[in-house]
Structure 1
Amino acid sequence: MAKLSGTVQMKQVGESNNIALFILDRPEKSNAYHNAMLHQFAEHLAAAVTNPSIRAGVVTGAGEKVFCSGADISSLANKSYNDGLNLLSRQLFDNWANTPWPTVAAIQGPAIAGGLELALACDFRICSASSWFSLPEIDLGLIPAAGGIRRLTKIVNEARAKAMILFGQKVDSATALEWGLVSQISDHVLEDAIHLAEAAARRNPLAIRLAKMALQSVNTSLGDASIEAVSQALLYQSQTQAE
Structure 2
Amino acid sequence: MSEPFTFATLQVEADDRGIVCCTFNRPEVRNALNLEMVQEVRRLLEQLAARDEVRALIFTGAGGQAFVSGADIAELRERGRAEALQRINNSLFREIEQFPVPTIAAVRGWALGGGCELAMACDLRVAGESARFGQPEVRLGIIPGAGATYRLPRLVGMGRARELIFTGRIIDASEALAIGLVNYVVPDDEVLAKARALAEAIAEGSPLAVRFAKMALNAAAEMSTDAALTLETIMQAVLFEDEEKYRRMSAFLERRRARKS
TM-score by shorter chain over 0.5 = yes
Please give the secondary structure, in 2, of the residue aligned with 1:64. coil
Using the TM superposition, give the Cα deviation of residue 77 of structure 1 relative to its aligned residue in structure 2, in angstroms: 2.6
- Cα distance, 1:120 vs. partner? 0.1
Describe how 1:31-46 pairs up with structure 2 within 5 A: 31-46=31-46
Task: Provide the C-alpha distance between the structure 2 equivalents of 1:205 and 1:94, rounded to a whole number of angstroms.
Answer: 22
Q: Secondary structure at the match of 1:171?
A: strand
What SS is found at the alignment partner of 2:149?
Answer: helix
**Ranges in structure 2 where 5+ consecutive residues have no aligned partner:** 1-7, 224-261
Cα deviation digits, residues 132-190 of structure 1 (max 9, x gap):
11101111111111111111010000011011101122211111111110110112001
CA RMSD of aligned residues (A): 1.3
1:200 aligned residue (202, 211, 228):
202
Q: How far did 1:208 drift?
A: 1.1
**Which deviations, in whole Å up to 9, do the C-alpha atoms of 1:9-28 show, x marking residues without a partner?**
22213xx3411211110111
Query: How many residue pairs get matched?
Result: 214
For residue 64 of structure 1, report the CA deviation from its aligned partner: 1.4
What code does the residue aligned with 2:218 have?
Q
- Matching residue of 1:158: 158
Corresponding residue for 1:133?
A: 133
Partners in 2 of 1:77 and 1:129 — Cα distance?
31
Question: What's the secondary structure of 1:212's corresponding residue?
Answer: helix
CA distance in 2, matches of 1:132, 1:79: 26
Q: Which of the residues 210, 213, 216 maps onto 2:212?
A: 210
Higher relative contact order (CA 8 A, sep 6+): 1
Q: How does 1:36-185 map to 2 (within 5 A)?
A: 36-185=36-185
- Per-residue CA deviations over 1:185-237 (Å, capped at 9, x if unaligned) read 1120011101111110121111111111111122328xxxxxxxxxxxxxxxx
Q: Identity over the aligned pairs, expressed in percent?
A: 38
Structure 2 CA distance for aligned equivalents of residues 30 and 55 of structure 1: 28
Q: Secondary structure at the match of 1:165?
A: helix
**Which contiguous aligned blocks of 4+ residues in structure 1 show a shift greater than 4 angstroms?**
none
Uncovered stretches (5+) of structure 1, i.e. residues with no partner = 1-5, 222-243
Quote the Cα distance in structure 2 between the aligned partners of 1:137 and 1:81. 16
Instruction: Give the Cα separation in 1 of the matches to 2:157 and 2:36.
Output: 34
Conserved? CA contact 2:17–2:203, under 8 Å: no
Cα shift at 1:80: 2.3
TM-score, length of structure 1 as denominator length:
0.85
What secondary structure does 1:163 align onto?
Answer: helix
Q: For 1:77, what is the secondary structure of its paired residue?
A: helix
Letter in 1 for 2:41: F
Q: What is the TM-score of this pair, normalised by structure 2?
A: 0.79
